[in-house]
Structure 1
Amino acid sequence: MTKNEIFAKFNDLGNEKRKEMYIKNGASENTYGVLLGELRKLAKKLGKNNKLALELWNSGNTDAQWLACMMFEVEKLSLDEVRSMVSQLTYVDIIDKFISEVLCNSQYVDILMKEWANSTKDNLGRAGWKLIVHKISTGKLSDADLEDILANIETELQTANPGKQWAMNHALCQIGITYPQFTERCISIGETLGVYKNLKVAKGCTSAYAPNWIAAGIAKRKK
């Protein structure tokens, strides 16, 4: 299947309500609103194909970039390609998808994590901290590494740009959930900083306020 054939498929599968939701959440107008279930079906049919994935990605279309994240052969992406790809992103859901589906398996994780986490650009800051979240979730970081991360969070979380702030808060919560020896410390930091404490939460969703998120995460792991 070629890029043009895939876009014809997008046109048939486009969902106006989903498109409106994507755009409301920060996607560009270059969006069809294809349901993720349909994109997964396409990805399964197409398989891994780095060349086609790059063509889809470079189109700038939201649906194409979602699909590309499921098709990349990460070992074939160069460091400069990855830097260029992420630097152009503004839609946070695609940033998160690219990090979790593609970059967390890259040989460049440590380089990019350090490079992006300290960036003043919100998209890069979010990407860097999402890579830190991935590192935390492995359960293999030393106490010294975790202390360094928490020191940065205590200093920067309240004043970080929105995208980066969300990822930093995720890192705080992930430490509290994954490393029992740090649970009370992370809850205390969350209470002191108060980030997202007053954020409205939809029914059935978990609060982003760190003490609540950590408690929910621990309860889920015990099931």
Structure 2
Amino acid sequence: MDAGTVMRELEALGKERMKKMYISNGAKEPVFGVATGAMKPLAKKIKVNQGLAEELYATGNYDAMYFAGIIADPKAMTEVDFDRWMDGAYFYMLSDNVVSVTLAEADIAQEVADKWIASGEELRMSAGWSCYCWLLGNRKDEEFSIEKLEGMLETVKKTIHDAPERAKSAMNNFVYTVAVSYVALHEKAVEIAEEMGPVEMKRDGKKPSILNASEEIQKQVDGGRIGFKRKYVRC
């Protein structure tokens, strides 16, 4: 299946309601408005195809870029490839839900995510912290350095209130994810979340969001879900 055929299939799956929702969250035209679940049958036909993924991502169409992440081969992508994808990720749904998710299945995930976190650029920081959330929620605890994660928790505590807006959300989610999915640092993450307190995240054209990792962690404790790991990162 070539890129033109995929684009036509995606366009046929588009819904105006979804399109409006994506645009309200920051997507720009061209957008078809395809629900992620509606992409699954098409993804099953194609499976993994990195060349096609690259063509689709380069279109700048939000739905095609999202679909590219589903059929990409993360292990075939280099740091340069991921940087190029980040260059095209113009809002958080691409940086955090496409690029960081794809990176989370690559062997170089932590290395690239560390670089993005240190970049000082809002969406790269957001993608880097988000990547760790995807990693922690999927990979075995032994794949991480406990000392490194402790240091990252301290960094969040010290810098989250002054961080770029989208990075605040990803950093807050990092503390939550460590508490839920990395049992060895559960207590530490709970302590950090309490010290952070509520975090205000400003949003263009909308009321600010108040992020509260402590409350969200407690919900998971109450539900007996500490230690949760998902089987797959990508859908």
TM-score if structure 2 supplies the norm length?
0.82
Aligned-pair identity (%): 25
Deviation at 1:220, TM superposition (A): 4.8
Higher strand proportion (structure 1 or 2): 2
What's the secondary structure of 1:120's corresponding residue? coil
**RMSD of aligned Cα (Å):** 2.4
Note if contact 1:40-1:67 (Cα within 8 Å) is conserved in structure 2: no
Separation in structure 2 between the aligned mates of residue 25 and residue 49 of structure 1, nearest angstrom:
28
Separation in structure 2 between the aligned mates of residue 189 and residue 178 of structure 1, nearest angstrom:
15
1:128-186 superposed Cα distances (whole Å, 9 cap, x missing partner): 11222244443233432232111101111111111111111111111222344543443
> Where does the alignment leave 5 or more consecutive residues of structure 2 unmatched?
203-209, 229-235
Amino acid at match of 1:91: F
Aligned to 1:32: 32
| Count of residues in Structure 1 that have an aligned counterpart in Structure 2 | 216
Note if contact 2:74-2:103 (Cα within 8 Å) is conserved in structure 1: yes
Aligned to 1:112: 112
Amino acid at match of 1:123: L
Note if contact 1:39-1:66 (Cα within 8 Å) is conserved in structure 2: no
Deviation at 1:198, TM superposition (A): 9.9
Give runs of aligned pairs for residues 116-195 of structure 1, distance below 5 A.
116-137=116-137, 138=139, 139-140=141-142, 141-180=144-183, 182-195=185-198
Separation in structure 2 between the aligned mates of residue 193 and residue 179 of structure 1, nearest angstrom:
19
> Where does the alignment leave 5 or more consecutive residues of structure 1 unmatched?
200-206
Greater CA drift, 92-101 or 113-122 = 92-101
1:76 aligns with 2:80: no
Note if contact 2:50-2:72 (Cα within 8 Å) is conserved in structure 1: yes
**Which protein has greater RCO, CA pairs closer than 8 Å, 6+ apart?**
2
Greater CA drift, 14-23 or 128-137 = 128-137
TM-score if structure 1 supplies the norm length?
0.86
1:115-137 superposed Cα distances (whole Å, 9 cap, x missing partner): 11111211100111122224444
| Runs of 4+ that moved beyond 4 A | none
Separation in structure 2 between the aligned mates of residue 44 and residue 19 of structure 1, nearest angstrom:
23
